[in-house]
Structures are given as structure tokens and as C-alpha cells.
Amino acid sequence: MSLSPFPCAPSSSVRVAAAVRHAVATGLLGESGPVAGFVDTDGVRDSVAALHEAFAGVPGVLHTFAAKAASLVPVLRLLAECGMGCEVASPGELRIALDAGFAPSRIVLDSPAKTREEIRRALALGVALNADNLDEVDRIASLRPSNAASVVGLRVNPQVGGGSIGAMSTATATSKFGVALRDPGARERVVEAFAAHPWLTRLHAHVGSQGCSLELIAAGIGETYRLAEEINTLLGRRQITGLDIGGGLPVNFADDEVRPTFAAYAAALRAAVPGLFDGRYELVTEFGRSLLAKNGFIGALVEYTKDAGGRRIALTHAGAQTATRTVFMPDAWPLRVGAFDSDGLPKAGPSLVQDIAGPCCFAGDVVAHARELPELREGDYVVLYDTGAYYFSTPWAYNSLPRPAVYGFRTEAGPDGPSVRFAAVRDAQSLDSISTESGLAHADALLHFPS
């Protein structure tokens, strides 16, 4: 059953096709806007509803969205309106979370390198903090006023191993995150920290994200749960009242199917850690990619096509500046590509092996290698699917390429097919803005140093 607010709502693939067609027809994609990101708001609402449904009946759960996955104020405000909290990991993310309307009590600050000023601000606001290490616990103790409302936790590394993408695995033996529990003496020092600070009431663990199996994630959460039980038993009091179990549900980038689902994730946790859901611990989740990835896409104009060494190359405006991980780690972060004609309609016809290259001035700027697609020509469009998280929301400023515009869209079924409405999320960056960010105000600074 669809969770969309519209009865008989179009499917995800139908919504994307309709959005591309309407974006071309209205000029959001075209000569004046050769690349843009799009957020499917119906899909976002469906994903949030699926997350809440997976934990239905479990008391005391705060689902937070990892702001880094889509650091766009309108997207964050939509998520807040859907009942989400927000996980942030920098002063900038905290600022935009507040601007988006999240109550401080529904914000969690994680970062391995919090400054004293960041800690002071979080404590003043009543934002929850997860200390990354025991030295940070001492720093918080020195800065924390006696009447602070902030929940404070400690991040631990259960050291249960890594997934298929090393850079995304945060529970390895040498991970930079958290207190490494299996290191000699570490567990004892964690217990001592909780004994010394009664206001330390939460444990936090995050095993990793893309490339981590449900079994690995559940194993890490299980280790954290058992540590909480051990600490409360040793202290003879129920000091730890909450567990922040992180996020990390991987995304299927191979096709349209959502797998694994939030329901499958919750089932894996119930099987591995049955006590987690009995209400004794408040739970916090921190999902990002799994909520947004499949609810967004990048559309880009094909500017030229050429042949080189027997290979067709389509040169587009979507490259490393928007798909950085895919360009530099194509095996770990492959993307599906769709071919659309100059009217924004799906292309048909014989397949041709083609590379889809971007505008950045280095040879490796290729988002898809040797893909079989209907033959692309100048004026056609490509769509990079499943890019709603991390891609267009956090662009790379290589070659001083402007940040692309981002639009949200909503789709309704109609007698003549889906109708689409767009809303601006972020304007395309202007050349004036690029120059300003590049130090225009200090243009002569290196010519005449002050005496």
C-alpha cells in the first residue's frame, strides 16, 4: 500500500519521468540550467513514514536525520514537519538545523573534533551531545553548567569489523571514531567515566553505512547494548537511559527496489538484541542516505558527443562537482543512468556503449563507464538516479563550477497523466557569488601588505 498523501499516487519511476519531462518543458533543465538536482517530496514523506512504522509501538524513539546527507534548509524543514529530529556534526550543520525549525531538544551533535565553543553553544541551547572520546568527556565536564538540559552521551567503537567500503566503516579496529572498546583497559575507563559523571546518560555507536550488512550493524548495536547493561549493573543504578544506535542502512543503487527496508532493519535488531525494544532505553536513530537517496535525482544536458578510441563519450554538466564519490570510487559508488531526449522523454532505440563524462577539467571525470544506453546526442539529457543524498546537496567547487539549482517536486495523478509542481530549494550559484567566495573583496591584499 502506498503511504503517499495522494490516492492512486504515481510510482517512483513514473514520478521521476514526469518530473524530467516537466523540468525540460518549463526550462528548469536546458540551456540556461544545464544541470539541476531534484527532490521527490512524496518519496521523502513515504520513506519517513516507513521508518516510523518500522519502530511503531516502541516507546521513546527519536528518529533524527543526518544533516550531512542533505544539507538544504527546505529539505530539513520538510523532514522536521514529518516528525524527524536532526543529527549534526559541525557548527554549520547546527545553524541550518536551527534555521530549518528543529527544536534544540530534537538535535544531536556528533563530531570527532568539537571545539570548546561548539560545546558551550550546544550546552547553552540544550542540544544533545555525544562525546567522541574520554578527553572530550573531561572537556564537557569543565564547561557544563550545573543546570544544563543537554543529554550527554559517549560514543564507543564496538570494533566488530568493517563492511565492503572501508572508508564508510566506522567500527574497525583503528577507526577514528569513539572509544575503542576492545583496546586494553578501554572498557574499564568507560565505566569509570560514567561512575564519575552522573549526567553522562547515553551510549552512542555507529557501525558504518554503505557497504555494511544488517548483521554487522546489529552486532555493533548488540555490543553497545550489553555495555549499557554492564555499566548500569556495576554502578548499581540505572544511569544509562538512552542508546543512540546511529544509522547506516545501506541503499540499493542497482535498481528501483528499496532494500533493505527499515522493517528488515528493525527485524534484524529484534532478532539480535531483543531487549533493545522493551522500553528501558530511549532510542535515537541517525539515518540519512537511506531516507533521501532514492528520493532525488540529477538531470543534466548533453552538451556534446564524440568518439575516441572506438568509444562514444557523452559530455554532460554532471560530473565530479556533483557526483564526487562516484567519479573517484566508481566501483564502490556506481550510479544508474537514464537517457532522455530533447523533450525530456525516455529515449528508445538500439543500445550503444557509451561513457557519461562531466565538465571538470581532468581525465577521470566520468560518472559512468561503458554503459549500454540508447544513443545520446547533443541536446539530450541524462539522469543520475538515487542521488537525493550527498550528491547535489554538497557539491565540490572544482574549476569554480557553480553549485547547481535544486528543486523539490510533487506529483499528482490526473486524467491525462501525472501533473508536477516544482518549488525552488536552492538557486543556482551566480558567477558574482563565485567571485565573492574567491576573495574578491580582498583582490589587492597580496599587492600591498599593511605596514
Tell me the DSSP string of 261-300. Answer: -HHHHHHHHHHH-GGGGSSSSEEEEEE-HHHHGGGEEEEE
Report the DSSP pairing between strands 242-244 and 200-204.
Answer: parallel
Whether 261 has a pLDDT exceeding 60, the answer reads yes
Report the DSSP pairing between strands 152-157 and 128-131.
Answer: parallel
Has residue 4 been placed in a domain?
no
Has residue 213 been placed in a domain?
yes
The verdict on 219 and 157 lying in the same domain is yes
Has residue 135 been placed in a domain?
yes
| Interval 161-171 mean pLDDT | 76
In this structure, of 155-169, 194-208, 254-268, 319-333, the range with the lowest mean pLDDT score is: 155-169
The verdict on 258 and 134 lying in the same domain is yes
The verdict on 216 and 309 lying in the same domain is no
Calculate the CA 257 to chain-centre distance. Answer: 19
pLDDT tens figures, 379-405: 999 999 999 999 999 999 999 999 999
Range of the domain at 96: 41-291
The verdict on 207 and 312 lying in the same domain is no
Return the pLDDT at 241: 97
The verdict on 193 and 69 lying in the same domain is yes
Q: Cell match 576573495: residue?
A: 439
Distance separating alpha carbons of residues 118 and 97, to the nearest angstrom: 14
Report the DSSP pairing between strands 152-157 and 351-357.
Answer: unpaired
Has residue 173 been placed in a domain?
yes
442: helix, strand or coil = helix
Identify the domain boundary among 267, 291, 315: 291
Has residue 274 been placed in a domain?
yes
User: In Å, how far are 153, 156, 207, 283 from 190, measured between CA atoms?
Assistant: 11, 9, 18, 20
pLDDT tens figures, 41-74: 999 999 999 999 999 999 999 999 999 999 999 9
Whether 210 has a pLDDT exceeding 60, the answer reads yes
The verdict on 380 and 264 lying in the same domain is no
Distance separating alpha carbons of residues 171 and 220, to the nearest angstrom: 8
Distance separating alpha carbons of residues 394 and 251, to the nearest angstrom: 18
Has residue 437 been placed in a domain?
no
What single-letter DSSP state applies at residue 69? G
pLDDT tens figures, 277-328: 999 999 999 999 999 999 999 999 999 999 999 999 999 999 999 999 999 9
CATH number at residue 377: 2.40.37.10
Whether 266 has a pLDDT exceeding 60, the answer reads yes
C-alpha cell belonging to residue 433 = 557569488
Distance separating alpha carbons of residues 408 and 325, to the nearest angstrom: 23
The verdict on 109 and 257 lying in the same domain is yes
**How much is the mean pLDDT over the chain?**
94
